[in-house]
Amino acid sequence: MKIAIDGPAGSGKSTIARKLSVRLGIPYLETGLAYRAAGFLVLKHLGAVSELSWKEIEPLLHRLEIEPRVGKTVVRVDGEELGEELKGEDVGRVASLVGTVGRFREFINEYFRSLLKGRQAVVEGRDAGTNIIPDAELKLFITASPEERAERRFRQLKRAGVEVSYEEILRGIVERDERDSQRKDYPFKPAPDAVIVDTTGKSVDEVIREIISMVERVRE
């Protein structure tokens, strides 16, 4: 079974994809982590840039390794596993910039396809259903209102002890949505055959139940 999960930042898609991977016992590929790891490398080697080219990113990529496992996507840079380092807003901003580089998307999608060849997987990310596993049996587009997404991110960051304002996060989400949807290469949009799952006002468990029953229908 191959399941593709897309959706905007803060829609809860990572939580849902991870839980689904565990419930179904199949590996989880969180593609955003590759963009975040590339963003992390860019920040480390080039600084907080506001523009980025393939020529600048390419030499950094041999350091990067991704391993999809049940319930977890392992990311290594120079053989060391990264975790919390990838979660910050600054890394997220550069990751979004990395996503505007078409050659990077081609490179990383090819790498993802090679990792997934002949395997079952839950693949989560901006173009999972359109470019990475277009043959997925189930394609889901998880969404929620910008305000609810900002609220969730706000609570998440607050729990992690990060000082940010709700307005700042909401602005960041609207900006990122706009950049992701308007880029020239691979603009972010749901696959035409994706099922839209609106999670506004729903608990994670409710959403998981909804999706598991879709999986059962597809498997019948």
Chain contacts with ligand DC (rule: CB under 6 A): 9, 31-32, 35-36, 92, 95-96, 99, 125-127, 176, 180
Considering the complex, what minimum distance in angstroms separates the CB of residue 186 from ligand DC?
8
Considering the complex, what minimum distance in angstroms separates the CB of residue 95 from ligand DC?
4
Instruction: Please give the torsion angle defined by the CA atoms of residues 163, 169, 171 and 176, in that order, rounded to the nearest 10 degrees.
Output: 120
Between 9 and 26, name the residue whose CB sits nearer to ligand DC.
9
Between 44 and 209, name the residue whose CB sits nearer to ligand DC.
44
Considering the complex, what minimum distance in angstroms separates the CB of residue 96 from ligand DC?
3
Considering the complex, what minimum distance in angstroms separates the CB of residue 127 from ligand DC?
5
Tokens 């839950």 appear where?
122
CB atoms within 10 A of CB 181: 12
Considering the complex, what minimum distance in angstroms separates the CB of residue 213 from ligand DC?
26
Between 24 and 149, name the residue whose CB sits nearer to ligand DC.
149
Whether 47 and 141 have beta carbons less than 8 Å apart is answered as: no
Question: Around 178, how many Cα atoms within 13 Å sit in the side-chain half-sphere?
Answer: 6
Whether 122 and 17 have beta carbons less than 8 Å apart is answered as: yes
**Helix ranges, the chain (H):** 13-24, 32-46, 54-57, 89-98, 102-116, 146-159, 166-182, 204-219
Between 24 and 86, name the residue whose CB sits nearer to ligand DC.
86
Between 148 and 180, name the residue whose CB sits nearer to ligand DC.
180
Whether 96 and 32 have beta carbons less than 8 Å apart is answered as: no
Considering the complex, what minimum distance in angstroms separates the CB of residue 88 from ligand DC?
11
Residue 186 has what DSSP assignment? S
Between 178 and 213, name the residue whose CB sits nearer to ligand DC.
178
